[in-house]
A and B are shown apart, each in its own frame.
Chain A
């Protein structure tokens, strides 16, 4: 591998941008394809599929075989609300290699005792999210039920490229939320990005089950469906 190629790969990684390194296994010729350039690449479909899987692997076309080294940033989940559901989410997210950050200005909730080993930001979401920066490998989840905390978080998420936005609450609660966000200047198309009611429909009841439904929906959005539904 060229040192220049390795440097380019490392700087994309440092910026939390995905790349695929394509190695032609017959002659060792390599090139680096940035995520933004995948769509226009001759191997577009193969590269896209490999990147979505999040794993490196060997692929073959009619006339060549390649090894694709996938460098995807570690996915993050940013949650507003140091609540029961996020407590259940913490160990599940760890097992799923999802990097969890919990934002809640209510310092009585956001304590290390309730969230051992979790990144906790006892701040208002607008300040905290400005610092974190939501990118296309970040999921945002609003869980407080309190518009004062959830709404600023949702507004920041809607202005970002994050791959998943979810908000807890009934259809009625979400209806009122949509009204507030429309009043704040968001259009219908962008509000359609919010998953609400949140989570896969598995009939979740307990906080842990709701956490499972939410994380299932996040994984499904990140990886894309595998089975054909036809």
Chain B
């Protein structure tokens, strides 16, 4: 699991250096039977390609959609998924847990 996270962060760096828009999603809080531990990463590019996992497949689709927005407007945001949430029913965190995911853009300094 740890080595997988290394690959994810290394991929985030490679993609950003290749000039792709990149966002990093991190699980920052979990309640109940969340499938992936706090600190798990998902890296997403502007095209919606992704690597890693924040929920073992349940809410990745929604996180990727939001991440594409984050890449476009540069504003970091915190997403929450849980059974009480209509979106979560829709995207299906069926294990009954709740998770909070922080999504941020990888900022590449522009050379003038």
Binding site for B on A (CB under 8 A): 1-4, 6-7, 9-10, 13, 23, 25, 28, 55-58, 67, 69-72, 74, 97
B13–A1 touching, CB < 8 Å: no
- B97 to nearest A CB, angstroms? 16
**Chain A to chain B contacts (Cβ below 8 Å), 16 pairs:** A3-B13, A3-B17, A3-B107, A3-B108, A4-B109, A6-B24, A10-B6, A13-B9, A25-B102, A55-B39, A57-B38, A70-B39, A71-B5, A72-B2, A74-B2, A74-B3
Q: How far is the CB of B9 from chain A (nearest CB, A)?
A: 6
The main secondary structure of chain A at its interface with chain B is mixed
Cα distance, A1 to B13, chains bound together (Å): 11
Contact: B107 with A28, CB < 8 Å?
A: no
- Tell me which residues across on chain B come within 8 A of A97, comparing CB atoms: 1-2
B16: interface (CB < 8 Å): yes
B29 at the A interface (CB under 8 A): yes
Residues of B within 8 A of A6 (CB): 9, 12-13, 16, 24, 106
Given contacts A10-B13, A13-B9, could you give 13 more A-B pairs where the C-beta distance is less than 8 Å?
A2-B106, A3-B17, A6-B24, A7-B13, A10-B9, A55-B37, A56-B28, A57-B39, A58-B38, A67-B28, A69-B39, A70-B39, A74-B2
Shortest CB–CB separation between residue A213 and chain B, in angstroms? 25
Min distance, Cβ B45 to any Cβ of chain A, angstroms: 14
B83: min CB distance to chain A, Å: 21
Q: A23–B26 Cα gap in the complex (Å)?
A: 11
List residues of chain B with CB within 8 A of the CB of A56: 26, 28, 37-39
Q: Does B62 contact A (CB under 8 A)?
A: no
B2 neighbours in A (Cβ, 8 Å): 72, 74, 97
Given contacts A6-B12, A28-B76, A28-B104, is CB(A58)–CB(B6) below 8 Å?
Answer: no
Determine whether B10 belongs to the interface, using a CB cutoff of 8 Å to chain A.
yes
CB pair A10 B38 closer than 8 Å: no
Known contacts A6-B16, A9-B9; A55/B107 CB under 8 A: no
A residues within 8 A CB of B102? Answer: 23, 25, 67
Query: What's the Cα separation between A89 and B4 when bound, in Å?
Result: 24
Contacts of A1 in B (CB 8 A): 24, 104-107
Please determine whether A3 and B109 come into contact, CB atoms closer than 8 angstroms.
Answer: yes
Could you say which of B9, B12, B106 has the most chain A C-beta atoms within 10 Å of its C-beta? Answer: B9
Contacts of A3 in B (CB 8 A): 13, 16-17, 106-109
- Which residues of the other chain, A, contact B3 by a CB distance below 8 angstroms? 74
* Whole-angstrom distance between the Cβ of A83 and the nearest chain B Cβ: 28
B100 nearest CB across to chain A (Å)? 9
Q: Could you tell me the distance in whole angstroms from the C-beta of B31 to the nearest C-beta in chain A?
A: 12
Complex CA gap A207/B107 in Å reads 53
Q: Which one of A6, A58, A71 has the highest number of Cβ atoms from chain B below 10 Å of its Cβ?
A: A6
Q: Kindly state the separation between the CA atoms of A31 and B12 in the bound complex, as whole angstroms.
A: 17
Q: In the complex, which residues of chain A have a beta carbon less than 8 angstroms from the beta carbon of B5?
A: 71
Residue of A nearest to B39 (CB): A56
Shortest Cβ distance from residue A141 to the other chain B in the assembled complex, whole angstroms: 21
> Could you say which of B1, B24, B28 contacts A58, with CB atoms under 8 Å apart?
B28
